[in-house]
Structure 1
Amino acid sequence: MAAQQIKFGTDGWRGIIADDFTYGNVRRVAQATAQYMKSRSNDPLAIVCYDCRFASEDFAQAVADIFASNGIKTLVFDRPSPTQVASWTVIDRKATGAVAITASHNPYQFNGYKYKTETGSAVPSEVIAELERTINSLDDVPAPDHKVGHGFVSSYDPRPHYYAQISRMVDLDAIKNAGLRVVHECMYGSGYGYIADMIGGGRTVVTELHNQRNPLFGGINPEPIPPNIDSTIAMMKVGNQDLCICTDGDADRVGIIDESGRFINQLQVFALLMLYLFEARGMRGPVIKTVNMTAMVDKLGAEFGERVFEVPVGFKNVAPKMMETNALLGGAGKPISQILAGLEQRVGPHAYARHDIHLQRDTYESDRKRIIETLQQNEPNEIAGVAVQRVRSDDGFKFYLADGSWVLLRASGTEALIRIYSEAADGEAVEARLRALEDIVGVRQHATAS
């Protein structure tokens, strides 16, 4: 029987546990990764981390065993940790690369394999192509004898060095002593403990929610958006808290809830961070955003005289462009609601929503192709009564409209679903644009709001 074909998505390879995400396939991917790392260094060092999903630590050990059998020294994290901690550890330890066993914000049935290069960044497309060729040329990779790799694998606590790096970037002592009341919605993910360690312990109090290990994620997707965080929003509306930070399954995706219980989506968080770096800290440089990211970034770039580059979705596309352009940003004294109000005064009102079209996994490729071809054949000149000014089609179809709003349809690279996104001045306008595009491709009845 031929080995199963492995294909990387927007950020690594993901699959259904015990279906295509198996120990056998993980060993194949790890073997290809080991060969790639050995081509990059005569004395490679690998980092391996994992999240809180079912058997993630066991899959991580399987990866470490393959690396060790190839003579690669490997540091395996001693607890579930955020993916970005692995990225920093690559830099800190001058490692050749890192593997994170995680499916990020995917449903609980999934697990995944992310690879980070010697720069700590996501793997660029040309390296992904090389890895896929090697993986798919391999048949069965047997589990190695543990004795073969003896002395090559070590347990490693990444937190002290990671905390030290964050303290060089942010005044953690000032936050600790600010007397803030911060909630961290961990979503049963690997970020538990990190925020509390860094900013708690002084006058600031950090309250963690859902910080236990639960591979079922409480029956929700570990993605920090409504309705997955509705109970946390309700808690914040009661009051007596200053801020809630919500992190996803591997804590590399964030949502914010302000002191009034208002959810601040990832687009707004990105724009707020950009404004903070430009205005409060006086930093300058290009900014990279993906096609599903906010137009607020373009307006801020114009205001501050900095270029904004738009790339397809995925860290694999963001990271190379950041390095190419020496970008500042890719991906303080007031209540968060006031800071957000100030942002909207500068860039105008903002509303955003995403609809997910869930498809059958076994027919996904044909269904996806049919939907994309339908849109190609019926490409609109106007959407919801607003003229289309231009179209981008290298990662789905993004329609830029005459009033500055946009709507995007793209196929997920990690799940069997089509996503439709829109940003406009108000929620009604957003929904009108989403519905119009759904009607064109005939999927309105399958759409669910996110």
Structure 2
Amino acid sequence: MKFGTDGWRGIIAKDFTFENVSVCAQATAAYLKNTSPDNLSLVIGYDTRFASADFARLVAEVMAASGIKTYFGSCPTPTPVISHGVVNLKAAGAVIITASHNPAIWNGFKVKSADGASAPTYMITAIETEIAKLGDNPSVSRLDFDTAVSRGLIECIDLAPAYFEQISKLVDIEKLREAGFNIAIDSMYGAGIGYFKHLLEGGCNRLNEINAEPNPNFPDVLQPEPIAPNLNKLMRLVKDIRSDIGLATDGDSDRLGVVDEMGNFLNQLQVFSLLALYILEVKGLRGPLVKTITNSSMIDKLGKLYNVPVFETKVGFKYVSPVMIEQNALIGGEESGGYGFAGHVPERDAILAGAYFLDFMITTGKSPAKMLEYLYSKVGPHYYNRVDYTFDEARREEIMNHLANQKPESLAETKVSSTDRLDGFRYKLEDGSWLLIRFSGTEPLLRIYAESPSQDKTASLLENGRKLSGI
């Protein structure tokens, strides 16, 4: 069991089994006992996937057998709500049973640190070491769930009230509720069902939530990831009911998707750049910005415009969070649609990101499409896209070697100005365009990313990337 960019994930009943989850839990318990002997407490939560609640109960039983106090989420709960729960309850960390945006056949084991952030590399390495120590015939101890509850080792808790209280400190909730917006919401059958409604109802808004019943099959979409191919129903709804905006959350609500008033999807790089602009211009704050290697060069331009530093990391919020903390950053974001903010837990939060986006609309009086035009007036137009290719795991080394041998002087008829391997194979072009080819950290996918000043050039760069990789 190897942890990727955000936890360990596997196919349910093939890799993600009760036996393997219990091994991960035992290893995590050993890590906590070694590193936090004075704070043996953990938050455990889960999403709406098949058997997630049962897997979570198993984890709680293993923790209880090790004498670790567990705060157990009483219902499917968004990852950012659980992350906040860690900080609010002063726990040593969290385990979340979720595969986030992966297809329905997957589930996962996410670990959070004491600050509510994605477990950093050193923590994951230590847990993997504990897994290895358990060997081929691991011994795992469990204490019956109800017995553990009676002994006070497991406490069932609703984490939502404290989370909403925190959000009310960061954004004016009454202002949002009285905005008078017509808002379409797609909860993608996931843990975020009802959260935007709870935040925004009770005033003048009209709220229309779809896919608002838990369904582990995630029907009609390839996976619960809030990107254009999976949001056709939301985009149609926005147009049909003339919504001011459409908001979508992924399976565990740490990723946000936005649809403008015309039913057009705003990609994740556009949304992150708009949120950064909101923080810098509307809120008037100054401080560092943090982005992953796959995020927009618009962030670099905003950094220069507002005279704030920009820090770049590998893909994964486990790399973003430490830099946010170290640099006291205003915002951190990754290409997948995950955005974290100062004054909150250093972790992705789709619900807070959506609230900030709505506040941007209220304050400026601009629709999402007009906000994008305003952004482009400052940094110029930028067009981004990503293509994913599945591959046989046996070909990984072959593809890697093929990429390592490619040294193009130009791409899409533009000279390559620099290359690097910070995280994959990145090519920067003289006109500011870029191409990145990297393996997914959680799935057998080769991802090819590109951004340029035109849609045609971005498409050309993606095709160049496919040829470079030999796919």
TM range (shorter): over 0.9
Partner of 1:237: 239
Structure 2 unpaired stretches of 5+:
334-359
1:74-113 to 2 correspondences below 5 Å:
74-113=70-109
Q: Would you say the 8 A contact 1:285–1:327 is kept in 2?
A: yes
Q: Any conservation in 1 of the 2:288–2:329 contact (CA below 8 Å)?
A: yes
Paired residues for 1:41-440 under 5 Å = 41-138=37-134, 139-142=137-140, 144-146=142-144, 149=148, 150-220=151-221, 221-331=223-333, 332=360, 333=362, 334-360=366-392, 364=393, 366-440=394-468
SS in 1 for 2:369: helix
Secondary structure of 1:53's counterpart equals coil
The answer to whether the Cα contact below 8 Å between 1:24 and 1:140 also exists between their aligned partners in 2 is no
**Helix, strand or coil for the counterpart of 1:342?**
helix
SS in 2 for 1:261: coil
Partners of 2:62 and 2:140 within 8 A in 1: no
Tell me, in whole angstroms, the C-alpha distance in 2 between the residues paired with 1:102 and 1:45. Answer: 20
Supply the distance in 2 between the matched residues of 1:190 and 1:290 (Cα, whole angstroms).
25
Paired amino acid for 2:402 = T
Identity of aligned residues (%): 43
How far apart, CA to CA, are the structure 1 residues paired with 2:292 and 2:110?
19
Q: How far is 1:158 from its partner?
A: 0.8
CA-CA distance at 1:95 after TM superposition: 0.9
- 1:46-98, CA deviations, whole angstroms, 9 ceiling, x for partnerless residues? 10111110000001101111111111111111111110111111111111101
Aligned equivalent of 1:23 = 18
Deviation at 1:229, TM superposition (A): 0.8
Mean alpha-carbon deviation: is it higher for 105-114 or for 218-227? 218-227
Aligned residue type for 1:413: G
Secondary structure, aligned partner of 2:82: helix
- Where in structure 1 do 4 or more consecutive aligned residues deviate above 4 Å? none
1:393-438 C-alpha deviation (Å, 9 max, x unpaired): 0311111111111111000111111000111112111110000111
Q: Deviations over 1:236-269 (max 9, x none)?
A: 2235211111111111011100111111111111
Instruction: Judge conservation of contact 1:382–1:388 (CA < 8 Å) in 2.
Output: yes
List runs of 5+ in structure 1 lacking aligned partners: 1-5, 444-450
Task: Give yes or no for contact 1:421–1:434 (8 Å, CA) kept in 2.
Answer: yes
Q: Please tell me whether residue 14 in structure 1 is matched to residue 16 in structure 2.
A: no
How many angstroms does 1:379 deviate by? 2.1
The answer to whether the 8 A contact 1:383-1:437 is kept is: no
TM-score by length of 2: 0.90
Bigger drift between 325-334 and 161-170 goes to 325-334
| Shift in Å, 1:372 | 1.7
- d(CA) in 2 for partners of 1:93 and 1:8? 26
Q: Give the Cα separation in 2 of the matches to 1:212 and 1:170.
A: 28
12-21 or 134-143: bigger deviation: 134-143
Inter-partner Cα distance in structure 1 for 2:239 and 2:441: 35
Q: CA deviation at 1:148?
A: 6.1
Q: Is the 8 A contact 2:185 2:234 kept in 1?
A: no
Size of the aligned set, in residue pairs, is 434
Which one-letter code corresponds to 1:29 in the other structure?
C
- Counterpart CA distance in 2 for 1:261 and 1:226 is 10
Give TM-score, length-normalised by structure 1.
Answer: 0.94
Aligned counterparts of 2:372 and 2:272: Cα–Cα separation in 1: 11
Tell me how far 1:145 sits from its aligned partner: 3.6
State whether residues 52 and 189 of structure 1, in contact with CA within 8 Å, keep that contact through their aligned partners in structure 2: yes
Measure, in 1, the Cα distance between the counterparts of 2:182 and 2:388.
Answer: 34
1:121-158 deviations in Å (ceiling 9; x for gaps) = 11111111111111122142446241763421111111
CA contact (8 A) 1:47 1:75 kept: yes
2:86–2:115 CA contact under 8 A, matched in 1: yes
What SS class does the counterpart of residue 208 from structure 1 fall into? strand
